Structure 1
Amino acid sequence: MKGITTLLFSLFLLFGFTSYLPSATAYDVLDTHGELLRNGGSYYMVPVKRGSGGGIELVATGNETCPLTVVQSPNKASKGNPCLVASPILFPYITPNSPFQIIFAFVPTCAPTRLWTIVDGLPEGPAVKIGGYHNIRNGAFQIQKASQRGCNHYKLLFCLDDTCEDIGVYVDSEGNRRLVLTKNDPFLVQFQRVTSSTA
């Protein structure tokens, strides 16, 4: 009887411990290796649809003297620049529909910040920039799963309270693939973890 009691107690402890371990579900945000997207982790955002361009980077557009505009690289082989994803919610992983910030890991010394934001009043409409502008929109970025078939395909949104808009691509007259707010035409991405071999 004592052996059975010890066995049951051991199984109880094992179940209690493993129930708190992270496990991937259909509601988690996963990187290209199938691992949970870490809060504060560094990732390349690469396009799901290949051929039109590569990952996300910065360029100077219009009258900018410093690269402040967030764009999709025209080089389809480029992974773009690494970005940190960070949520104020004290949880080790980024979850769908929760607010988070996107921060470039590296920017030119002329850039006033590394933090992504939305700027209003531009010819292309509300666009993704980093600093240097006064007409900044309040809100935060979110992630939503773009496919229910188990693929790690996601869309980015910018939300204020319960109102969210997709992040899409606008090709300007100079061929820059600018990230902008759009309706029903999201830019689908995957998150590739930055490692010493990919940096």
Structure 2
Amino acid sequence: MKFIPLCFLISLLVLFNTKPLQGAEPEPEPVVDIEGNPLQPEVGYYAWPLWGNSGGITLGHTRNKTCPLDVILDPKSIGVALFFTPPVDLGFIPTLTDLTISIRILSPCSQYSKIWKTSKVGSELWFVSTGGTAGDILSKFKIVNLEGDIYSFKYCPTKVYGTPCKSVGTFVDTDGTKVLAIGEGIDEPYYVRFHKSSTFPLRKHQDMSIV
């Protein structure tokens, strides 16, 4: 009986071992709405706050009241629909994946795109603004699952070093406006549930204006 060298056996084990290495990133799961259905690319969804039954995401003037508009919370309305575009069409919106997020609403800043981007307003503070470009580093956001159908947004571009990696929370501007932001002064993520906009009829009291 011939003996096979130990180094050859180890090489074979490494070659045919298909088990993922420990520490590898988990496979992304579908983001689901409040009805348990996976979010779909290029379909509008409201992002309703977890805490409270009113207020939604929209666009508004902050800082110097100039363009582009920033992403804010409006306590007087249910907000406007968000649209998500993944880098690869899987038939659903995945968690933990770089996404392009846009708010397609008429505004006085029509020369700017409605794609989310980070905009630096302080040494360690960034507002979530608009005027972004699909695929650009500043416009790569992720959706992170807390549990069940509860999610938050995160700015953490995949495999891009030297950029912030932080959860999106809220920052109260000087005039009292709550702006989606990351960095200094952000205590916790802004948790949301998603609702497909086409299944929610517009109410008479819904305010679709820019704040």
Tell me which interval the TM-score lies in, with the shorter structure as reference length: 0.7 to 0.9
Root-mean-square deviation (CA, aligned residues, Å) is 2.5
1:27 shift after superposition:
3.7
Give 5+ residue unaligned stretches, structure 2.
Answer: 1-27, 203-211
What's the counterpart of residue 192 of structure 1? 195
Given that residues 116 and 139 in structure 2 are in contact (C-alpha distance below 8 angstroms), is that contact kept between their aligned partners in structure 1?
Answer: no
Write the distance in 1 (CA, Å) between the matches of 2:64 and 2:187.
Answer: 29
Aligned position for 1:70: 71
What secondary structure, in the 3-state scheme, does the structure 2 residue paired with 1:110 have?
coil
Question: What is the identity, as a one-letter code, of the residue corresponding to 2:101?
Answer: I
TM normalised by structure 2 equals 0.70
Alpha-carbon distance in structure 1 between the residues aligned to 2:68 and 2:59: 6
The amino acid that maps onto 1:180 is: A
> In the alignment, which residue of structure 2 is the partner of 1:103?
102
Write the distance in 2 (CA, Å) between the matches of 1:115 and 1:50.
26
- After superposition, the Cα gap between the structure-2 partners of 1:121 and 1:179, relative to the gap in structure 1 and judged at 3 Å, is same
- The equivalent residue for 1:156 is 153
CA positional deviation for 1:91: 1.1
Output the amino acid matched with 2:140.
A
Letter of the structure 1 residue corresponding to residue 150 of structure 2: H
Q: What's the % identity of the aligned pairs?
A: 26
In the alignment, the residues of structure 1 paired with residue 62 and residue 175 of structure 2 have an alpha-carbon distance, to the nearest angstrom, of 9
TM-score under structure 1 length normalisation: 0.73
Name the counterpart of 1:18: none
Deviation, 1:32, is 1.3
Return the alpha-carbon distance in structure 2 between the equivalents of residues 124 and 82 of structure 1: 29
**What secondary structure is seen at the aligned counterpart in 1 of 2:192?**
strand
Distance (whole Å) between structure 2 residues aligned to residue 65 and residue 173 of structure 1: 15
1:80 corresponding residue in structure 2? 79
| Structure with larger Rg | 2
In structure 2, the residue corresponding to 1:120 is in which secondary structure? strand
Aligned residue identity for 1:158: Y
CA contact (8 A) 1:119 1:128 kept: yes
Contact 2:69–2:109 (8 Å) recurs in 1: no
Extract unaligned runs of 5+ from structure 1.
1-25
Give the residue type in structure 1 aligned to 2:131.
G
- Where does residue 115 of structure 2 map in the other structure? 115
Aligned position for 2:18: none
* CA–CA distance in structure 1, aligned partners of residues 94 and 29 of structure 2: 8
Q: Count residues in correspondence.
A: 165
